[in-house]
Each structure stands twice: as C-alpha cells, then as structure tokens.
Structure 1
Amino acid sequence: MKPPAAAAEFLTQYGWRDAELSPVAGDASFRRYFRVRDGDRRAILMDAPPPHEDPKPFIAIAEYLVGAGFAAPEIFARDLDQGLVLLEDFGDQRMREHLDDHPQDEDAIYRRVIDLLRDLHKAPAAALPPYDEAQYLREANLLTEWYCPAQQLDVDAEGFEAIWRGILAPVIAAQYPPVTVMRDYHAENIMLLDDGRLGLLDFQDALMGHPAYDLVSMLQDARRDVPDELEENMLAYYLAGHDQDAADEFRRHYAILGAQRNTKIIGIFTRLCMRDGKARYLDFLPRMWRLLEKDLRHPALQPMAEWFGRNIPHEVRSRPMPAAKAAQ
C-alpha cells in the first residue's frame, strides 16, 4: 500500500519532511492510514481521497469529543482538497486484541466502555443531522438491495419497509432529546491508551439519535463474539438507576435498533463482497444472522420476524451465496 502522491509535500509543509511512512490496517471504507515516524515523534496520516471520502466530519466530531473531555485524536494538520489529515497516533493496543490475549479483563473493560457511553449521553449532543426515519430505512433496505439479489431471492421489499416504519416509530419518538451516536462503537474502534483512557476512532458518520444504538453496536459486535451473559450484564449495568418501565422501554428499543443495525450490516457486508470484491466480509454473516435472530425474538419485532420467515427462511440464511464466486 503506497502513500498518496501528495503525502510528501503535505508532510514537508507541516514539519515532517524526513518522516518514514508505513501502512496501518484500515476499515471497510476508501480511507487508508499510514503511521508516520520522525525520530521519537509519531502520528497517523489519514488518506481520505475525494470524492469518495470527506474528512471534514471526522475532524468536526474529533474536535467535539476532545472539547467534551473524551479521547479522540488531536488533529495536527489537514489538507481538505487532497483529503489528507495528520492526527494523533493512539498506538496499537486495541480493545479487540487486548481481550483476545487477556480474556480475564473482559468484564472490567466492557464496564469502562459502558461508562464512557454513559458520560457521552450526559453531554450535550454534537450539532449533527438526526438519525431519522429516512436514514434508518435507507440502512435497513441494504438487505433487500444487496443480500436478497445476491441470494437470488424475490422478496416483498415494500412490505419490509412498511413493517420497519411501524416498528421504528416509537424509537424515533423516544430519541428526543437526542444523544451523539458514533454508529461504529465496537471493540476494533476502541484504543487502550497509555494514560489509562479509552481512545475513540471511526466516528465520522456520527448522528444525533437514540442512546441504545451505540450500546447495541458494542454488545452485538459484528466482528467479535460477545457472550450472551456479558451482553445482559452490561445492558443491566447501563440501565442501573432506571425504573422498571423505563428499563423495559429501553430494552425494547435496544432490540429494535439491534435488529435494524444487524439487518443493515448483512446488506453492507454483502455489498462489500459483490461491489468491492471484499469477499472476506461474508465470513461475518453467520454471526450477523445469529444476532439478528436473537433480536427478532423480542415481541416488539414479531411482524419483522414473520417477514423474515416468509421471505428469507432459515435454510437460506445458512447457505453459501450463489453470486459470491463471481464477485471473487
């Protein structure tokens, strides 16, 4: 992975002329990342090439988070025309790998990430677009737009959207006043910093929405198995202090947003395979179906569970994707 052509001039302009660059693992987007080393100095170069990427939202949310007392990367330099951002290096100690090596720390670290969410939800929300019905539906419809065609399924897409409208209505009504929703709050985007804080990454798609969204993102992690007992314990930990009615309503919304998010991710991972040739994302689908089916067992989701039963039966969910070979 070669640095962008404009990187050398950009780094020279901001005092990093002699720095060495090495690639850092990225995410599912067009963004790329490079570690920048110059003697004892370290930084990360984000390459967010226009028109595919726009680094301004990342910068704005990073500045909001730092201003609110959270650990987001400091922005050292930026060239928005080139899509280059030089930012603070949070190191390599991700929550995901730490727990792989130290499973005994699981309960303590998950409590810390829940505490961080509680603090974020107490802070005034960032000035962001709302997580509205149109956005929820666009995301859920990725299943019928990508997964169903890849599985050669002719499904009731209109009925699918209509059911989501009804199920999501009470969730949308309850997300006022809204909180900042980072939308990708999971173990691969949490860094364990040397000063003991939790570093936040990959929040450029943040919106204003419901407090259950990031909680379900963490506890129904698309890339890491979270034991059911741990999920329940952390959900109860977050809800400590809520009265029974409020806790029951929150759990209902948690299940609905979990189903919406997991439906979306099945569509996104299929798109990453079919459109972008990233077939490895299909390996996550069995976990995503397990999580979705768990959410669909909640009584509030019965109409959606019935839709899935009619349109994507269990034997389809577990079969290989017929169109995946062509994409590979």
Structure 2
Amino acid sequence: MKNNTMIKNDMQEPQAQKHEVVNPDDFFDARTDLRQQFADECGWGGVEIKQMGEDCAFRRYYRLTREKDGEVETAILLDSILEMEDKVAPAHKLVDVVSLAPKMKAAGLSVPDVYFSDVSKGYALLEDFGDYSYNKAFQNGADQPELYGLATEALQKMRQSTELNSLKLRNYYEGHVHANRVDIVHWYRPAALYEANPSGLMESYLAAWGEIENALPPCPMIFTHCDFHVDNLMVLEEREGLNKCGILDFQGAVIGPAPYDLANLLEDARKTLPNELKTALKAKYCADMSAEDKEIFNAWYRVLATQFHCRVIGLFVRLLVRDNKSIHLHHVPRLQNYIVEALDDPILAPLKRWFVESGIDLSKPLPPFDLPRLRKILGLIE
C-alpha cells in the first residue's frame, strides 16, 4: 500500500524541529460528504466526482461529470485545506485562486473561471481546462516553438499589465520560494554525503548568494506567477492565438524579479529544452527592452535560474525523505547538470567556491537512499 504520510516540517533547521504527522488521505477522505454537499449547493448534485491525482500542496482536485441537454459537461472541484489551519502555506490559499482569476482574465490571459466558491469551507468550483497539458502535448510530438512561444507571450502580457503589476501581493523576497533556495543545503547535502551539516555552512551559502546579488544592478520587480512550468500550462485546442495557452496554479503569485517565470519555464526540472530554443524565447521576451535592460535581465536570469535549481533539487530529495514521494527523483541528474553548467558563469564564482568548500560534488550521482539513516541525520526521527 502506498504510504502518503507527510511529516510536518515548517522551520528552517531540520535538526531542531518538531514534526506532526499529517496524512492527507485521511484529511480528504473525511471530507467526502462535505464535497458532495458543496457540489449539491452549486447545482451539481448526484454527479460523478472523480479524483484527478495528487498535488504537491495540501489540496485535491476532483472532476465533476454530468450529461446535460445530450452533451457531457464537466467542472473541477478544488478541495483545499481550510484557510485558518496552520498547515496551509501562504502560496496555497484558496482565497488567492478566487481573487486572482478574474484579474488575470481581464489582463488577457486564459485562466479557469471560478463558478462558485466557499473559502470558509475550503471549496471552489472551477472551469475544466481538460487534461491536455503542455507536458502531454510535447510527449505527443506537439510543436515546441509554437507552444513555448505562446507561453512566453503570456509572460509578456503579465509583465505589461498595469493592473497585475499594481496588485498588493506578497513580495518574492519575503516568501517561501526565495527562502527555500537553501533546500540544497538542508536536504541535498545530507543525502549526498550522509552527514549532518556543520555549523556555519548555511551562513556561508547565503553569504555567497549575497555577494553575487550585491554585485548586480537592481532587478525590476513585476507580477510573477511563481510556478510557471509545463504541467501548469494547458493546451486549449478549441481556442486561438494566445488564448490557446491555459494557465493553472497561479495562487502563489507574488511581486517578484522579472526573469523568474521565464527561467522557471525554460530551465524546467522535468524537461531539457534545446539551447537554441531557449535563446530564441529569451530574445522574444526581451524584444521590447533596451540593451541595458536586456543585460540586467540576462544576469538576473542566471542567478534566479540557479537559485531555482538549488531549491528544486532539495525539494525533490525532501519529498522522498520527509513525505515518502519518490516521483520526482529521476529529475535530479538534470538539475545537477543545470547547476554544474551554471557555475561556469563568472557571475556565480562565489557560489562555485562554496560548493567546493562544502564538499558537494554535483558531477556524482546521489548514493542509494538509506531512509532510516538519513531521517535520523536530519532529525526527522530519533
């Protein structure tokens, strides 16, 4: 039987943490009747409700299906942990789905309509964008330049939208995405070396990034989706032009550094893009920028992409070690390669020195996982 138990872990230093075991299956199974009640209230009583897989966050999606006037009609029921619970992260709040959707749609972006919502109970009924994600489309041989080009145009729309960029959103530098650039230290290094991190290691890692960032001009801050990748982008085949690019999971949006979303899209942990395509898409995104702005954008693109990889490589280890989810581990070698290549950029020289001093050799695969031993090293068990 699959073990979905998650060990709650909210503080930054694993060795000093207390852990509450939370089983998401138990939580959502206990809400079956409440989901049905919400569907009834939305006019979808007595229909089929089918779970659509799991999410890395503490939420579930269910497809509602019914026949109406001789045609099949569907909608998506989002079941989320209650807003007042301490287990919900700031970027996973249902209220942000409900509030951002109409604003993004008004900016010319294809996001699901919110038909009904009850934030107090953790439910929303959303437009169904189907199952044909960018990821699936590429597996079926879809045209990469076309679809990535549409996604890049969507990011341009976000950057150019006065309304979106004036929203009072969380600041990227105060949120978990930026903070968790340390996950390579917290989670990856102990898994690579099977030893606890020495005192001062985290401080030296953050000092390396500080030296890098302080050497660069300030980066423009804009509306940032913050999770803009091929599994959150849908091909809406019945639509045309930019509207063909459906955008999901935008509830974690922040005001963040301009290159972040494009780096997230092109430096994908799940998929390797040809360098010539990445170069063309960066040029497309920056087409309306001055030469000076392009130079600043490219420098920060390198920094943010590498911070993204340092976060995600640690995240994938954490998902196995803490949450018993191994589904992403096969992407770790790609992330290793991304970081190794990035460290040849002189901009990242302080970080390159840190990796040598820390003992992390990203050219080597991770050793086999001895989970009881690793969990003990990390302080997850005694």
Alignment partner of 1:195 out of 233, 236, 239:
239
Alignment partner of 2:202 out of 128, 153, 157:
157
Alignment partner of 1:123 out of 147, 156, 161:
161
Cα displacement (A) at 1:136: 5.9
Counterpart check, 1:108 vs 2:140: no
> 1:210 aligns to what?
257
Q: Counterpart of 1:195 in structure 2: which amino acid?
A: R
CA distance in 1, matches of 2:152, 2:277: 12
> 2:367 aligns to what?
320
Structure 1 pair 170/68, CA: closer, same or farther in 2 (3 Å)?
farther
Largest Rg, 1 or 2: 2
Cα displacement (A) at 1:210: 1.5
SS at match of 1:236: helix
Write out aligned runs for 1:180-259 (5 A). Answer: 180-193=223-236, 194-196=238-240, 197=243, 198-259=245-306
Cα displacement (A) at 1:310: 2.2
Q: Counterpart of 1:144 in structure 2: which amino acid?
A: V
Query: Do the aligned residues in 2 keep the contact of 1:182 with 1:207 (CA within 8 Å)?
Result: yes
Q: What are the Cα deviations for residues 142-171 of structure 1, in whole angstroms up to 9, with x where unaligned?
A: 222222233324352110011112323466
Cα displacement (A) at 1:18: 1.8
SS at match of 1:5: helix
Write out aligned runs for 1:263-274 (5 A). Answer: 263-274=310-321
Question: Percent same amino acid among aligned pairs?
Answer: 27
Structure 1 pair 134/201, CA: closer, same or farther in 2 (3 Å)?
closer
Cα displacement (A) at 1:315: 6.0
> 2:58 aligns to what?
30
Alignment partner of 2:124 out of 85, 97, 101:
85
Comparing 219-228 with 51-60, greater Cα deviation is found at 51-60
Q: What are the Cα deviations for residues 177-222 of structure 1, in whole angstroms up to 9, with x where unaligned?
A: x211111111111111121321110111111012200000000011
Counterpart check, 1:42 vs 2:74: yes
The aligned length equals 325
SS at match of 2:172: coil
Q: What are the Cα deviations for residues 299-319 of structure 1, in whole angstroms up to 9, with x where unaligned?
A: 111110111122143267412
> 1:11 aligns to what?
39
Q: Counterpart of 1:207 in structure 2: which amino acid?
A: V
TM-score, length of structure 2 as denominator length: 0.79
CA distance in 2, matches of 1:5, 1:168: 51
Q: Counterpart of 2:183 in structure 1: which amino acid?
A: L
SS at match of 1:308: helix
Structure 1 pair 30/326, CA: closer, same or farther in 2 (3 Å)?
farther
Query: Do the aligned residues in 1 keep the contact of 2:58 with 2:80 (CA within 8 Å)?
Result: yes
Q: What are the Cα deviations for residues 239-267 of structure 1, in whole angstroms up to 9, with x where unaligned?
A: 22434332222111000000111101112
Structure 2: any 5+ residue segments left out of the alignment?
1-24, 376-382
Structure 1 pair 9/323, CA: closer, same or farther in 2 (3 Å)?
same
Alignment partner of 1:292 out of 339, 358, 365:
339
Cα displacement (A) at 1:4: 3.0
Query: Do the aligned residues in 2 keep the contact of 1:252 with 1:298 (CA within 8 Å)?
Result: no
Q: Counterpart of 1:12 in structure 2: which amino acid?
A: D
